[in-house]
């Protein structure tokens, strides 16, 4: 039954996906005498963790009960007190945790604290599944940079645009809706200045209710953005930030007056140091980034090995021509092809979505 | 219930897919007093049609019964006598046919013959489904050329090879097995001399039991094929034909001695007249062709609008580089993209297969 209740806890965590960052979206289930007496999932940042939600719901009934939780309970003071204290005080008899929390402030110390208090505490259930579920958070903790999702819309023959540059629309409304779901799930949507200029892109979440808006980050090395563009005009409503390396002081001030955040990072000519871009976002505790980059900037991210997950939408057309995706990311020989694992395939009406994880 | 029994007849027809050409693979079900008393599907060419198989199985019980058949019964002498005569003689009371047979020797005359004999005869059930099921045969009859399936293996970024030309293997064994299934289903597998030379390709069906071998057709305008290649060496075991426009008489004779068929068609330099290639195959009563052409010859088929169905296998890798599929079939602007309808998407382990029908 441990596996069954852990599955429930994992599923419960999904309710908080995209809604509690920078905390991971964790789920908890409390079971007493073979009955589920409470469930919980992580609340918005600053609110209760999953365990606390469940413990509060269970009340006195949690004495002697078993707590299932997808991630090791925390044992440190953050925005909220340690969950381990609450678990001990509630009289929980046994704790079953999915995986250990890689946060150096926890990292096994949560389990140790529970055991020290006489609670039977196990971990290591559905590890592969939970590691995938919490991939953003785990990358953020383990790799000290945000998890990067590269998204591209291609024709069936792999073109991101027709040869004259036109690309509206390669994909159908169902695919575009899926892109908005992705935007709502991540902390950051990132694009280059060229894409933003070309399409006057907003990059916000539209058409979905009850979602948070991501931070929109534009890589604009020479600060060429048009202050009249839709993205800047919406900066007071939806957060937006520009990263640049060289800029005119007046332009910086006028953009800031319009509500834009500005951040200088290293770079040269029309390129920024992408590792520093990621470091900057990590410092801001932003743990997932959706790349909505055009082909050229996409190639730079692939060359820098800064893609953790790849999401390609295929439209239902043949385009021909030379606007071929990732041309400059040339693997030369089939034996040097960049392989992807964990492939999933989904039909979106007359489009397809293929996802996978590059094996670097 | 008509719809239910017709569905059964359609499904029964699938048993003969790829096994009875140039006859269409039809299914029949005989129902008497609400009970299925017999089923049948088209036998190998020269053998019984679906209706006859079912009638023979039903015997005397078919008196007063209803016959469901996916295609209008024939009313002419071909390799076998007219099915309409057999139906009338068996005492069938009612016939429900899926679609009319576009064969000008039938084309409504089958239904008319049944009605003239006092049998209640209807048609027009699941027309879209049956038209898709029998698409090879219907194209052959209606368009006076074989149905052409274009197959391509691409990386996720739409490359048919790495930039050094290497392409073994872009797709996985599950995808390649699917290609062998396609080969077993069609009458003709067609490739250009370059692909055959590069990979020393056999183009036969391997790894599947109880299947027929397609005719292998090589477009070799100047008859440059190496008589020692695997394809030629296997010509006595698996049928193979070369189409050329100019050739040395001795080479023709030596290839014929090795079991190859040779056929001259119009062409110039290293190109053949593709419409004439198709006409030639039509004349041979071959009603479906699988193109296993390299990129260049593929582009020629697309430019000639000689693709009825498109099957793309996507491997689980990124290749980059400039070997982009169908580059020369340049649609210039997104509004001129060649759209595909009837998209189906399938996961083949860590590969994906996307199929669709070009809307010309």
Count CA atoms within 13 Å of residue A254 on its CB side: 12
CB contact under 8 A, B163 and A318: no
Alpha-carbon torsion B281, B284, B288, B293, what sign? negative
CB contact under 8 A, B167 and A334: yes
Mutate to test the interface with B, among A167, A307, A317 (most CBs of B within 10 A): A317
Distances (CA, A) of A277 to A147, A219, A242, A306, B235: 13, 9, 11, 11, 61
Q: Is the ipTM of this complex over 0.90?
A: yes
Tokens of B80: 């076998």
What pLDDT, on a 0 to 100 scale, did the predictor assign at position B210? 84
Dist. CA A329–CA A325, nearest whole Å: 9
CB contact under 8 A, A317 and B327: no
3-state DSSP call for residue A83? Answer: helix
Alpha-carbon torsion A33, A37, A42, A48, what sign? negative
Please list the rounded mean pLDDT of every run of 10 residues in chain B (360 residues): 95 94 94 96 94 96 96 92 94 97 94 96 96 95 96 98 96 97 96 95 93 95 97 97 97 97 97 97 95 97 98 98 97 98 98 98
Which positions 161-180 of A are in contact with B (Cβ < 8 Å)?
Answer: 161-164, 166-170
Distances (CA, A) of B274 to A351, B143, B278, B279, B323: 31, 15, 6, 9, 24
Chain B touched by A239 (CB under 8 Å): no
Check pLDDT > 90 for residue A297: yes
Q: Write out chain A residues lying below 8 Å of B343, CB-based.
A: 316, 347, 350-352
Which strands sit side by side in the sheet containing A35-41, from one edge to the other?
A35-41, A27-32, A66-71, A94-99, A120-123
Tokens of B69: 């058949």
Tens digit of each residue's pLDDT (9 = 90 or more) over A308-350: 999 999 999 999 999 999 999 999 999 999 999 999 999 999 9
CB contact under 8 A, B330 and A321: yes
Residue B324 pairs in a beta bridge with: B159
Span A19-45, average pLDDT? 94
Which positions 20-49 of B are in contact with A (Cβ < 8 Å)?
Answer: none
Chain B touched by A303 (CB under 8 Å): no
Check pLDDT > 90 for residue A211: no
CB contact under 8 A, B344 and A347: yes
Chain A touched by B330 (CB under 8 Å): yes
Tens digit of each residue's pLDDT (9 = 90 or more) over B262-309: 999 999 999 999 999 999 999 999 999 999 999 999 999 999 999 999
| B317: nearest CB among A161, A332, A338 | A338
Pick from A359, A345, A349, A358: nearest CA to A172: A349
Tens digit of each residue's pLDDT (9 = 90 or more) over B80-102: 899 999 999 999 999 999 999 99
Span A15-33, average pLDDT? 93
Tens digit of each residue's pLDDT (9 = 90 or more) over A212-254: 899 999 999 999 999 999 999 999 999 999 999 999 999 999 9
Span A169-185, average pLDDT? 96
Look over chain A and give the mean of its residue pLDDT values, rounded to a whole number.
96
CB contact under 8 A, B332 and A167: no
Sorting pLDDT into bands at 50, 70 and 90, what band is A272? very high
| B41: enclosing H helix or E strand | strand B35-41
Check pLDDT > 90 for residue A203: yes
What pLDDT, on a 0 to 100 scale, did the predictor assign at position A22? 86
Tens digit of each residue's pLDDT (9 = 90 or more) over B14-26: 999 988 988 999 9
| B157: nearest CB among A158, A166, A318 | A158
Query: Are B272 and B265 a contacting pair, CB within 8 Å?
Result: yes
Pick from A299, A243, A301, A251: nearest CA to A267: A243
What pLDDT, on a 0 to 100 scale, did the predictor assign at position B132? 96
């Amino acid at each position: 039954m441990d596996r069954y209740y852990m599955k429930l806890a994992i599923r419960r965590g999904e309710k908080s996906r995209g809604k509690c960052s920078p905390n991971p979206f964790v789920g908890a289930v409390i079971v007493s005498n073979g009955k589920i007496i409470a469930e919980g999932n992580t609340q918005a940042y600053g609110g209760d963790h999953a365990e606390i939600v469940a413990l509060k719901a269970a009340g006195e009934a949690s004495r002697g009960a078993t707590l299932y939780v997808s991630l090791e309970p925390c044992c440190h003071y953050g925005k909220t007190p340690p969950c381990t204290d609450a678990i001990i005080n509630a009289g929980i008899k046994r704790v079953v945790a999915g995986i250990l929390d890689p946060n150096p402030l926890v990292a096994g110390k949560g389990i140790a604290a529970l055991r020290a208090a006489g609670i039977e505490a196990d971990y290591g259930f559905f590890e592969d599944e939970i590691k995938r579920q919490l991939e953003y958070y785990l990358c953020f903790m383990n790799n000290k940079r945000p998890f990067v999702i590269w998204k591209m819309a291609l024709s069936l023959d792999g073109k991101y645009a027709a040869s004259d540059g036109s690309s509206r629309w390669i994909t159908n409304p169902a695919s575009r809706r899926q892109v908005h779901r992705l935007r709502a799930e991540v902390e950051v949507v990132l694009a280059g200045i060229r894409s933003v200029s070309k399409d006057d892109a907003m990059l916000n979440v539209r058409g979905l209710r009850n979602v948070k808006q991501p931070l929109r980050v534009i890589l604009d090395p020479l600060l060429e953005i048009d202050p009249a563009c839709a993205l800047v005009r919406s900066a007071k409503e939806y957060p937006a930030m520009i990263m640049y390396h060289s800029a005119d002081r007046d332009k910086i001030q006028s953009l800031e007056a319009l509500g834009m955040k500005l951040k200088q990072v290293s770079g040269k000519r029309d390129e920024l140091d992408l590792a520093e871009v990621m470091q900057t976002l990590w410092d801001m505790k932003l743990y997932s980034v959706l790349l909505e980059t055009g082909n050229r900037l996409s190639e730079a991210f692939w060359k820098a090995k800064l893609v953790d997950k790849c999401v390609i939408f295929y439209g239902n057309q043949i385009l021909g021509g030379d606007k071929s995706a990732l041309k400059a990311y040339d693997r030369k020989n089939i034996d040097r092809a960049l392989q992807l694992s964990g492939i999933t395939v989904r039909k979106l009406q007359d489009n397809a979505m293929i996802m996978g994880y590059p094996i670097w």
